[in-house]
Amino acid sequence: MARVVDWLARSPCRSFIIIFLLAFAIRGFFLTKVSHRYIVPHTRWEMEATAFSLAERGEFADPYIIPTGPTAHLPPIMPGILALIWTLFGMGLAAGYAAWLFRIATYSAMYAMLPWLAGKLGVGRQPGVLAGVAGALIAVWPGHGEGLTAIALGLLLIASVRRWTVGHSSWVGSLLLGLAWGVAFHLQPALLTVLLGCVAFELWWSRDRRKWTLSAVMVLGVVLACVPWCWRNYATFHEVFFIRSNLGLELRMGNHEGAAAAMDVMGVPQEPRHPRTHEREALVLREVGEVAYMRAAGCEALGWIRSHPGEFLRLTASRVVHWWCGPLHDPMIALLVTALTLLALAGAWRTLPGLAIPQRAALLIPLATYPLIYYVVAYMGRYRVPLDWILLMFAGAEVWHRIKRR
């Protein structure tokens, strides 16, 4: 086995092609088992409903159970991509398959990049090969752009390591990196905490006398990338907010009387009120406006948290456990996720001391900062996908160490 792994690791291009094809073939096979009613362009879920509105009417709107008008419930990139694919392929079954194959391709590329990413981040190509193959074999339902988010995060971390390792940066490079971060926020705004962690590390680590100015230029790039979408939102809703409008709703869904840590186990009595599933909520949203509705939902959640601090702490602790150990209501999946986390912990313990400090920072900052927002909202398994590749690399390092000892 070691010879095969070494052979794959010698050529990032070869390993990319083989892992990509493996991942794509497995997911493509499972796609053939999915009913056509979930393949054709439809409006059953928020992203698809928004993409449908974009494709049909050119409006970023109507993500809920009834038409409610313009929205900022979702970041714009993935609905825009789906709408473009559906428009190009004609809003029929072919368009649906093209969109799903695109999603599958992003997941496949994410895993296929791991040998290269692991090499650049100091973990080693062989652990990256093992991580990529393991990821290729784990066929999860492609969700809301998590694969693209993972790819973007990996590339941004590589660029950051290079910036920190070189020790000096240009004004243009700082601006471009900021623009790249800003674009990534339109895939997943939760990356903001990762950027803040990276900026804090850079200001501590860098010995460049211009570090504060260069960091400010990078932040300027972030702002410039975010201005067009934020201006659209301001012109539409007359409010200023960061990319998405739905934080208040997500807080309420995870923090209310009878709430559970995981979304999937909330039954009818505990089911959170959501305008996607409750027509009455959608009617209220349409009447008062999306931003006002989300603000009211957030105030309701914060009021409940203030009056139930012990229950909130219990839910938060349970969500932390769910994040790192998987869905506790599904013991088999939880066992696999826990095993991955423990194996990654062992691999990190073995690998991190041998890495340069910038490489350690690039691997640890996302693990520490990205989950923070998800500790206070209801858990869903797909939320962790943008980080799983780091855990897979660390786990691959531990497995590779054991293979070499034989």
pLDDT digits (tens, 9 = 90+) for 159-218: 999 999 987 788 899 999 999 999 999 999 999 999 999 999 999 998 888 889 999 999
Please report, for residues 42, 62, 184, 214, 266, the alpha-carbon distance to residue 364 in angstroms, rounded to integers and kept in the order given.
Answer: 39, 38, 19, 23, 32
What was the pLDDT predicted at 207?
84
Is the distance from CB of 214 to CB of 255 less than 8 angstroms? no
pLDDT-derived band at 46, boundaries 50, 70, 90: very high
| pLDDT (tens digit per residue) in 357-398 | 999 999 999 999 999 999 999 999 899 999 999 999 999 999
Q: pLDDT by residue (tens digit) across 122-167?
A: 999 999 999 999 999 987 777 788 999 999 999 999 999 999 998 7
Q: Which residues pair with 379 in a beta bridge?
A: 262
- Residues 277-336 pLDDT 10s: 889 999 999 999 999 999 999 999 999 999 999 999 999 999 999 999 999 999 999 999
Tell me what the pLDDT averaged over the chain comes to: 93
**Does residue 268 register a pLDDT over 60?**
no
Say if pTM beats, i.e. exceeds, 0.75: yes
pLDDT of residue 269 exceeding 50, the answer is no
Name the H helices within 58-92. 77-89
CA 167, 169, 174, 176 torsion: positive or negative? negative
Q: Which of 88, 118, 175 is nearest to 348 (CA)?
A: 118
Residues 54-102 have pLDDT tens digits of 999 999 999 999 999 999 999 999 999 999 999 999 999 999 999 999 9
Q: What is the pLDDT of residue 271?
A: 60
Helical (H) or strand (E) element with 70: none
Which amino acid would we find at residue 205?
Answer: W
Give me the percent of the chain exceeding a pLDDT of 70. Answer: 99
